[in-house]
Structure 1
Amino acid sequence: MSAKDEFAKNNLPLMGGVLAAVGASLCCVGPFVLLTLGISGAWIGNLTLLEPYRPVFIVIVMLLFGWAGWQVYRPIEDCTPGTACAAPQRRKPRQAMFWIMASIALVLVTSTYWIPLIV
């Protein structure tokens, strides 16, 4: 497996989780960010059309981050030799990236609760 394929395989759950979190928060964070930037208009109300799909996005976020956590924290013995998983010096940065992305996803997914407190 090439380094590019390994990178894509190892980072797919993290990237997918963050994208799903963006989808889950688009109905709330999107209008908030646009209004903060001074962009307004009646069309901003159309962003709430994604609200019924919010639970689906949240489940996808949880599944993808569960998968990513399993990949990052699984025992070294279960890893294929020569991969990023098997190299102890590469595990710490991957674990740090996992927690950074999980924190971003948590902020986005919980946006419906903290944005009204700011506005």
Structure 2
Amino acid sequence: MRTRSNGSGSASLVASLVAGIGASVCCVGPLVLLTAGVGGAWIANLTALEPFRPLFVGAALVFLGLSFRRLYLFPPACEPGTPCADPKRLRRQRAVFWIVTLPLLALLAFPWYAPLFY
């Protein structure tokens, strides 16, 4: 049987969230600023990150895949009586995974539905 470390595994969720935000900053950033009433020609400079978008998208998907793998395919094997053996903890981690994943996928898909807002 495989044994794993007792770490929380939230690092891959945080990394995927940061990568997703980085991937969508070129598209969501100007929309948020325009919605807030901030305007100007300098907003066009936010598109300078567009060439890096595929890297951020790839990183976000890799980290989401690692989180899914850890939570669903290979859950940690823990000794009875340790905190990671609690089934409530695994349910909470899975809930947080989906709470992070759904908005992240919406951010990654934003360039496809952005024309509806502009």
What is the TM-score when the length of structure 2 is the normalising length?
0.86
* TM-score normalised to structure 1 length: 0.85
TM superposition shift of 1:80: 3.3
Percent of paired sites with the same residue: 37
Please name the residue that 1:80 is paired with.
Answer: 78
Partner secondary structure for residue 107 of structure 2: helix
3-state SS, counterpart of residue 79 of structure 1: coil
CA deviation string 1:47-71 (max 9, x = no partner): 1011011111111011000111112
Kindly indicate which of the two structures has a greater share of residues assigned to helix: 1
Give the unaligned 5+ runs of structure 2.
1-5
Q: Give the 3 Å change call, closer, same or farther, for CA 75–16 of structure 1 in structure 2.
A: closer
Trace 1:10-89 onto structure 2 (pairs within 5 A): 10-76=9-75, 78-81=76-79, 82-84=82-84, 86-89=85-88
Question: Closer, same or farther in 2 for the Cα pair 1:50/1:11, shift >3 Å?
Answer: same
2:102 maps to a residue whose letter is S
Higher mean C-alpha deviation, range 66-75 or range 11-20: 66-75
SS at structure 2 position matched to 1:6:
coil
Question: Contact conserved, 1:20 with 1:60, CA < 8 A, in 2?
Answer: yes
Which piece of structure 1 moves more, 88-97 or 16-25?
Answer: 88-97
Unaligned runs of 5+ in 1: none
Aligned residues: 111
Q: 1:6 to 1:75 in 2, by over 3 A?
A: closer
Letter in 1 for 2:77: C
Amino acid of the residue matched to residue 109 of structure 1? Answer: L
